[in-house]
Chain A
Amino acid sequence: MLKTSHKWVLGVVLLLILILPFLMAPHKGDAELFTGADSQAEGLIGEITPGYKPWFNPVFEPPSGEIESLLFSLQAALGAGVIGYYVGYNRRKSGDEA
């Protein structure tokens, strides 16, 4: 479906989009850069409706930022493992050595 030249172009565009934010993200004084959009929305809710209190708390919260990254990495790693297995399996099956 894709020509090799297309893959290169797409790959380069992908890299550029990943790098670009670090070069051109607006600096907001002391404010922390690259915080999560979800928590920013939380802040905006507080601005629009001062005094809104969440009426339910998460059942379990990762005890620290490190543990949270660990769980997110596990999630990504598990998924990537399955995809890698699938691709390898089918590559072998189709007898394609390229």
Chain B
Amino acid sequence: MHIMEGYLPAKHALAWTAASAPFIVYGTARLARVLKEKPETKMLLGVSSAFTFVLSALKLPSVTGSCSHPTGTGLGTILFGPWVMPVIGCIVLLFQALLLAHGGITTLGANTFSMAIVGPFVAWWIMLGGKKLGMPLPVRVFLAASLGDLATYVTTSLQLAIAFPDPVGGIAASFAKFSTIFAFTQVPLAVIEGIVTVFVFNLILTYNYQDLSELQVISLVRPKEVDDKC
């Protein structure tokens, strides 16, 4: 989902940066507040960041014959709500842009928007919606992580389609082409991200219920489910 350095026309690059900026600013304020009011969650925040670091570094093969990587933003979103991952995701993307020539400074705004904003918010809404529908916790975590991952890649396809509309079919045709590269490739990887997130979330729930009660997640977990932990 990394749009390469210089591959978004300047106007688009600027627009996506402007779109991402408020999320980063507000997210940073929220993050600072969480750390100040609940310093004991520092470690869990570290784990959420580490999870994104690991998953976004793993380029996995897909059935389409190309390689792509998960995003890892679901876990932190499920634990801390949707406002923390924009900041963490942006830092990860910056690291990859500066040291790995993956993504770029000019495309940081667009990449942050897809990976660190759309993905987490979709994941968060699925957590909320799933609770309303009475879905079991592991199912909600799986769907949130995997569909958040997929939403990121759909967003990337859309961003590129808007910037490079097909001369014949326009944005729609272009979106179909970019989706074949990004979104289809991502389907099996999104399932992988969902499963891995369920595993790690389960570990955290098993050993660290105390910290979790401090976080957003507790409002999403029905008490019975916590007792069911094994």
Contacts and interface: CB of A to CB of B under 8 A. Distances in A.
B223 to A, nearest CB: 13
A41 B196 CA distance: 27
B54 A21 contact: no
Contacts of B47: 82-83, 86
Interface in B102-118: 102, 104-106
Nearest to B208: A90
Contacts of A58: 5, 97, 101, 104
Contact of B4 (A17, A42, A62): A42
Nearest to A17: B188
B67 A35 contact: yes
Contacts of B53: 75-76, 78-79, 82
B68 A75 contact: no
A50 B5 CA distance: 18
Q: Is the interface of B mostly helix, strand, loop or mixed?
A: helix
A76 B58 contact: yes
Interface stretch (B17-25, B76-84, B125-133, B160-168): B160-168
Report whether over half of chain A's contact residues are helix, strand or loop; otherwise say mixed: helix
B100 A68 contact: yes
A38 B228 contact: no
B63 interface: yes
Contact of B100 (A14, A72, A90): A72
Given A54-B7, A56-B5, A58-B5, A79 B57 contact: yes
A88 to B, nearest CB: 10
Contact of B65 (A33, A52, A55, A75): A33
B178 interface: yes
A54 B101 CA distance: 14
A55 to B, nearest CB: 5
A77 B88 CA distance: 18
Contacts of A49: 164
A18 B60 contact: yes
Nearest to A9: B195
Interface of A: 1-4, 6-7, 10, 13-14, 17-18, 20-22, 24-28, 33-42, 44-45, 48-49, 52, 54-62, 68, 71-73, 75-76, 78-83, 86-87, 89-91, 93-94, 96
Rank and list the top 7 A-B pairs by shortest CB-CB distance, nearest first. Answer: A54-B6, A79-B53, A79-B54, A82-B50, A56-B6, A90-B207, A25-B65
Interface of B: 1-7, 9-10, 43-44, 46-47, 49-54, 56-68, 95-102, 104-106, 137-138, 156, 160, 164-167, 174, 177-178, 181-182, 185-186, 188, 191-192, 195-196, 198-203, 205-208, 225, 228-230
